[in-house]
Structure 1
Amino acid sequence: MEPGTWRRGIAATFETAREAFEAAWTELRITIPDAAFAEWGHDRDWRAGIAAKRARGEKLDSEIRSTLMRRVCGTTFDSWKPAESYPHRAHITAAQAANGTRR
């Protein structure tokens, strides 16, 4: 929501408040793009997934340590397994030398 688009007020009865809300919502709804509702739904579902993982006692993907590396060509290898990492060291070193991160 953009600043200044919120509404507030006090009503004497619930019915009066509900009518005022419905009128304000009808006016505001036409200004909200459908993509905003889709974005909200995606965010809601993502947060529910996070809460479910936490409730089950699971770690999030970002909390799980990984030693996997991926080369630009798409090859994935485990950097802690010498047999897998040695063939790629020459490519990594060459790429680092080319972009100036290693001399």
Structure 2
Amino acid sequence: MHYLPSPRDGALRRAVALDAKFRTEPQRDDLYQMTAYCVRLGLTEGHLVYASGRPGVVEVPVGEGGLRIYRHVVGLSRPWRDLAADIDALAESVDTARGRGIA
């Protein structure tokens, strides 16, 4: 689990790096950007969220430094009920990855 100090009061709070994209597949620039976020924040994992593509969570290899980047899909063209379920699944997956080090 990752914690960062709050800018307001300095208390440690759970932290996650998550970036939403309107592409269907990760681009090299997306991975570089998420890597930079994670390195800057001292995190060992990051999450890229795409608006369409194959459903599910995929770990995207980023080298051998212990950093994990996960690709998630939230299908924006799906009916509202299904979209809400996708968002719930995303939140659960990110929380699971943060709590146990896996997605």
Q: Same fold (TM over 0.5)?
A: no
TM-score for both structures, normalised by structure 2? 0.23
Structure with the higher fraction of residues in helix conformation: 1
Q: Which has the higher contact order (CA 8 A, sep 6+)?
A: 2
Larger Rg: 1
TM-score for both structures, normalised by structure 1? 0.23
